[in-house]
Structure 1
Amino acid sequence: MGNCYALLVFALFSATLFLNGGIVIAVRTTADGSEEWGYVEVRPKAHMFWWLYRSPNRVEDPSKPWPLILWLQGGPGASGVGIGNFQEIGPLDTSLKPRNSTWLRVADLLFVDNPVGTGFSFVEEDDLVVKTDVEAATDLTTLLMKIFNRDSSLQQSPLYIVAESYGGKYAVTLALSALEAIEAGNLKLKLGGVAIGDSWISPEDFAFSWGPLLKDVSRLDDGGLQRANSLAEKIQQQIADGQYFKATNTWSNLEGEISSSSNNVDF
């Protein structure tokens, strides 16, 4: 069903297809060039969807190149095109009304449904989904190669990789992979930097920090802190034992415990 839906999107976009280095790219552009979106086949039968916005405030100044922000969502498996774009920083909100606080005011924006299998990105065979963050970074690097290497104007803008939640892992691994491709001469872009917010990069440390933090600001009493720390210790042991599914469920229990003991503080 997911594959059929993604293929339907292909048809609706009426995208232009062409080959770049043996990899199929599908691209659609608005009449004024302010938006561009499409697919890159990052591996055979693995297709990644992207959406680029060019800022109306863009200023061409060689001494201060206009930045381009690549937004990576977390999850893993949350849609950057859907959540980051329409719920957070894109030009339109979920009601398709203009967002006054859009980051498009100060930068061009590139959203990606990452990794393949997320949002409109899809694979034709289930075993082609990525298994590690490094594999996801490799796919993203291929995506950047196919987008940037064909567009000299994009190559002038420093790329800033910005991510939240689990996207913090994606951002770091992508930056390392992209830098390696740049140094090898395979990727034509300027890497400006990496920024991560509320990144989910060390679940064990985060689980142990919530109770003490809320106790310090008087949102948990001693009993609540004890219960929170007990669940954090259980998470720690489950991670050490490789019981990641159970650790995730215990983490959910920790959220519930903190919510009920702190008068509904949401993590």
Structure 2
Amino acid sequence: MEKKVPFFFSILLFIALLFHGGKVLALNCQDGSEEWGYVQVRPKAHMFWWLYKSPYRVEDPSKPWPIVLWLQGGPGASGVGIGNFEEIGPLDRSLKPRNSTWLRKADLLFVDNPVGTGYSFVEDKKLFVKTDDEAATDLTTLLIELFSGDEKLQKSPLFIVAESYGGKFAVTAGLSALKAIEDGKLKLRLGGVALGDSWISPEDFVFSWGPLLKDLSRLDDNGLQKSNSIAERIKQQIEDGKFVEATDSWGELENVIATSSNNVDFYNLLEDAGGDDIAAMELGSYEKLSMEKYSRYLTSMRSRSSSPGGDDDLDKLLNGVIKKKLKIIPENVTWGGQSGDVFNYLAGDFMRPRINEVDELLTKGVNVTVYNGQVDLICSTKGTEAWVHKLKWEGLKIFLAKDRTPLYCGSDKSTTKGFVKSYKNLYFYWILKAGHFVPTDQPCVALDMVGAITQSPAT
């Protein structure tokens, strides 16, 4: 058995790498194409970041080369692991080159956010964040450390691109970053925020589930009635500010949906649960929650997802070859695709809507892009459209009246891949035949989309 380095000595080694401001001395590849490190965002709270510099970079004075900051969902899912190796990074989980990597359009910055996620860690569980705003403050601290002392990074506009619960982090982090920029604490240009299948308004999503599944014959009238009844209860709990109770009811609703639909996949409503490896990682957090009403169901879903090539392989990769490459991960920090602790500590904010924050970004002139996979259920297009209609932004009426433009990939104009519409600084992409994980399900159109969002000079 391999002898573990005691945690105390591991932390001493880690602290020895620290210097002013809490930023860890970053390591990099010899060719300078990658950098990574830790930022101590608060005493004893350490956030891990990994920056890839694009080999496809194009120097164009009129279009600066962009940086995409990718934020994963969960909350507590690892962007360094999942977003990087499963969706948009340079290598897949087999460490083979990914042809559709977003490096073709931008540099990529992955962060394990909030602390306690992936390689990020806390030395005391009391230091876990309990709100999205606390997570945004930590993330802004990291950005200040990375950007404010690096003039090269400052030349590239930063685009925060998020998936799932990461969208809630994106809007709060975007506003936090803007304030830091206005206060002169953060030196960067925020290019925009993109919300992919994002958990912006839980109420609108839970009300969409029953009708969607009923129209697709996945629920009958009885299932629809049960679903809508719990959704009404969730709405009232949210209105009353009882967000923890709303999270409990959300879990109960998922159990009812699963039972009535014979385990529909919440990440692709055309499939049965268990067929999506990435989804299994996020579902892994739910079975750790203290909601006995549906833990048995979620545990069974987890066991169905342990097929070859599943999340166990990613665990081995991140705790093996990648951990050795990075060198600075403390010995007793074990990477996990989804932190149950992070999810539990955020249970009081999980069902809190962030529509007002999206409105604030739009009013401040920030480019906001919303994109959604056609067959996602948990963050359905139906639910996303519902919360977009609730925006108070002055340009909404004209935006809604606009016609959509069809999307294709490459020279093939025979197959519609999606639609897009925009007005001023609001953009909406409908991505066809994609579930919750758009870059994985439709890599070609997703790559074109991120090129458009960032106004990348790459063709």
Where do 1:35-184 residues align within 5 Å?
35-184=34-183
The normalised TM-score by structure 1 is: 0.87
1:30 corresponds to which residue?
29
State the SS of the aligned residue for 1:175: helix
Aligned in 2, Cα 1:34/1:5: closer, same or farther, shift over 3 Å? farther
**Separation in 1, partners of 2:193, 2:89:** 19
The one-letter code sitting in structure 1 at the alignment partner of 2:89 is G
2:212 corresponds to which residue?
213
Measured against aligned partners, the alpha-carbon deviations of 1:75-118 in whole angstroms (never above 9, x if no partner) come to 11111111111111111111212112211111110000111111
| Count of paired positions | 261
Measured against aligned partners, the alpha-carbon deviations of 1:11-44 in whole angstroms (never above 9, x if no partner) come to 7xxx994634x32423101001111000011112
State the SS of the aligned residue for 1:57: coil
Q: Unaligned stretches of 5+ in structure 2?
A: 267-459
The one-letter code sitting in structure 1 at the alignment partner of 2:142 is L
State the SS of the aligned residue for 2:51: strand
**Separation in 2, partners of 1:262, 1:131:** 33
Residue 160 of structure 1 deviates from its aligned partner by 0.3
Structure with the higher fraction of residues in strand conformation: 1
Residue 216 of structure 1 deviates from its aligned partner by 3.5
Measured against aligned partners, the alpha-carbon deviations of 1:193-228 in whole angstroms (never above 9, x if no partner) come to 000111112222211111122333444332332122
2:457 corresponds to which residue?
none
Residue 179 of structure 1 deviates from its aligned partner by 0.6
**Separation in 2, partners of 1:62, 1:186:** 26
Q: Contact 1:52 / 1:110 at 8 angstroms: preserved in 2?
A: yes
**Separation in 1, partners of 2:67, 2:140:** 16
**Separation in 2, partners of 1:156, 1:5:** 40
Paired-residue identity, %? 71
**Separation in 1, partners of 2:58, 2:180:** 28
**Separation in 1, partners of 2:244, 2:8:** 29
The one-letter code sitting in structure 1 at the alignment partner of 2:253 is L
Measured against aligned partners, the alpha-carbon deviations of 1:32-91 in whole angstroms (never above 9, x if no partner) come to 111100001111211110000011101111101111000111111111111111111111
Residue 252 of structure 1 deviates from its aligned partner by 3.3
Q: Contact 1:164 / 1:197 at 8 angstroms: preserved in 2?
A: yes
**Separation in 1, partners of 2:217, 2:10:** 52
**Separation in 2, partners of 1:63, 1:227:** 56
Q: Contact 2:234 / 2:249 at 8 angstroms: preserved in 1?
A: yes
Q: Contact 1:16 / 1:26 at 8 angstroms: preserved in 2?
A: no
Residue 151 of structure 1 deviates from its aligned partner by 1.7
The normalised TM-score by structure 2 is: 0.53
Where do 1:2-21 residues align within 5 Å?
4=7, 7=10, 17=17, 19-20=19-20
Residue 243 of structure 1 deviates from its aligned partner by 5.6
Q: Contact 1:6 / 1:120 at 8 angstroms: preserved in 2?
A: no
Aligned in 2, Cα 1:233/1:83: closer, same or farther, shift over 3 Å? same
Residue 244 of structure 1 deviates from its aligned partner by 4.6
1:196 corresponds to which residue?
195
2:254 corresponds to which residue?
255
CA-atom RMSD in angstroms? 2.6
**Separation in 1, partners of 2:29, 2:193:** 29
Q: Which has the higher contact order (CA 8 A, sep 6+)?
A: 2
